[in-house]
Structure 1
Amino acid sequence: MHPVPAAEAVWSRHGGRRHALRLLLGVALFAVLTLLLVNAFRTGDFEQTAEKVIGGVMTCGCALLCLGCAYAAATLPRRAHLLPGVAVDATGVWWLREGRLQVTLWDEIGGVGVGYLRAPRLSDSLRIKENYALEVYLRHERPDLAAWHVDEPPQGPRLRYVLLAGGDRRALETAVGRFAPGRWIGEYERRWTRLGPLGK
């Protein structure tokens, strides 16, 4: 067994380039919106008191979001090694959290799939797939991987890694098919939770 994932391992990282790019796009978007709102104040587009209050709240909100995205983008390289990640290779599925790597061997894994949520909506036709997560079903309990463990009906106990970059699921599916044919169980809807995209 290798102490680290093999060179051909397929990774999904919460601190990868795609996330940095999204943060930089957030900086650009909120900076433009802030400038537009400031310009609206300068040119007198907000005339009534209510308009000025609403415009001021929106300007402050956009400015704070711009600063938040800029701060996250600036500190991402320093924090990237602490952010969670998952890798798939010929050995098994690797779990990275706070710089610590752990592996589940293919012999320990009964199946691997991607669960998604459908948020409650007024109309079923408006319910879309979101909050994708790689889920690994173990043949036996692994107390050392408790930080990744979830137990929700109907699928039961499993290890979960939330995919912030939705496109990663196709690459991970291909990797499971390549390294462990027959372990891929597909995509399925999991129980809705109000804890958000990073919640369990």
Structure 2
Amino acid sequence: MLFILMALLFSIPVVGTWRTRRWVMAFDATGFWWIRRKEIALIPWESLAGVGIYCTHRTFTVELCPRDEIDRDDPLLWGFVRDTEPLRPGLPRLRYRIGLPHSFKPYEKALRQWAPELWFGRVVQPLSYAGQPDRAGHRERMARRQEG
């Protein structure tokens, strides 16, 4: 755990903080980090098939497109999972979509720096693209897990 914290301290070019929720988003040579209090989730770059930024006039999201299936009920990441058309044929429909609290430029710079081979660019989307997490489905799947 100490190694992870040290790595984060020395290699993060961009950190976005959602102070009201006490969440931190970070990028480094290892991948994408999502930190909430003492909980940490890492999505390694090698697990992804593409990264980019989707946008409308005022909304920007980081898109993390996995190579393989993901756990749609991960305790920290489930709220970012979206079921949408894959980046390209043969990839899973599920992806991570993380809303950006302010300017996309530092995030774009970080993604291009740490994952240039995965970068698919900035893509303009219709206003309705962002979607919502599958809250009802998440509750049902978690209830089944607790029963079984």
| Fold shared, TM-score > 0.5 on shorter chain | yes
Q: Does structure 1 residue 137 correspond to structure 2 residue 65?
A: yes
After TM superposition, list the pairs within 5 Å mapping 1:1-200 onto structure 2: 2-4=3-5, 5-9=8-12, 10-15=14-19, 79=20, 82-97=21-36, 99-117=38-56, 129-143=57-71, 144=74, 145-153=77-85, 155=87, 156-165=93-102, 167=103, 169-193=104-128, 199=132
Distance 1:84 1:115 in 2: 21
More strand by share: 2
CA RMSD of aligned residues (A): 2.7
Gap change, CA 1:130 and 1:139, over 3 Å in 2: same
| Bigger Rg over Cα | 1
CA displacement at 1:91 relative to structure 2: 0.7
Gap change, CA 1:6 and 1:112, over 3 Å in 2: farther
Gap change, CA 1:130 and 1:141, over 3 Å in 2: same
CA displacement at 1:174 relative to structure 2: 1.6
Distance 1:113 1:194 in 2: 15
Q: Is the 8 A contact 1:136 1:159 kept in 2?
A: yes
Task: Quote the sequence identity (%).
Answer: 26
TM-score by length of 2: 0.67
Give the 3-state SS of the residue equivalent to 2:101 in structure 1: coil
Q: Is the 8 A contact 1:152 1:191 kept in 2?
A: no
Distance 2:66 2:129 in 1: 26
More helix by share: 1
Gap change, CA 1:195 and 1:184, over 3 Å in 2: closer
CA displacement at 1:136 relative to structure 2: 0.5
Aligned to 1:35: none
Q: Unaligned stretches of 5+ in structure 1? A: 16-78, 118-128
Kindly tell me the number of residue pairs found equivalent between the two proteins: 120
Q: Unaligned stretches of 5+ in structure 2? A: 88-92, 134-148
